[in-house]
Amino acid sequence: MSTALDEFQAATLSLARPGSIKERLTEAYRHHLCLVREEELPAELRDEFRGCIEMMTREPPLLRGEDAVRATVRKMSSGEASEVASTVVRMFAALSRSQPSAPRKHAKSSSNIVPLHLAEA
């Protein structure tokens, strides 16, 4: 089971891939952001998350086979889509900062050590 942090990270990576901003934003929402449960987020991010989801689903579907996400993104300008994408990235950063740090693993062998000086002969 993925955590909210995992889904935000995956959504951010989706936004960093090639393609139009609208395609990337749709991908990030459909495969990741829609899986985030609001109660998994810190209280200070919930309103912003709710607003982001509303921005992504505000338009009713008008075309056959279309859903609210596709209709909304279709009607967005590229600038609006970029703003929503930036919000997702900012929320990922804030969520990352709010998580406790995992301890770093230290190398067990000295084989990873690179000498900075040449040994004198």
Instruction: Give the tens place of pLDDT for each residue, 64-119.
Output: 989 999 999 999 999 999 999 999 999 999 999 987 765 445 445 555 655 566 65
Domain count along the chain:
1
94 within some domain: yes
Residue 45 resides in a domain: yes
Find out whether 9 and 91 touch, Cβ atoms under 8 Å.
Answer: no
State the Cα–Cα distance between residues 110 and 39, nearest whole angstrom. 45
Q: Are 84 and 54 in contact (CB under 8 A)?
A: no
Region 23-41: what's the mean pLDDT? 96
What is the extent of the structural domain holding 22? 4-100
Q: What is the pTM of this model?
A: 0.78
Please tell me the predicted confidence (pLDDT) of residue 98. 87
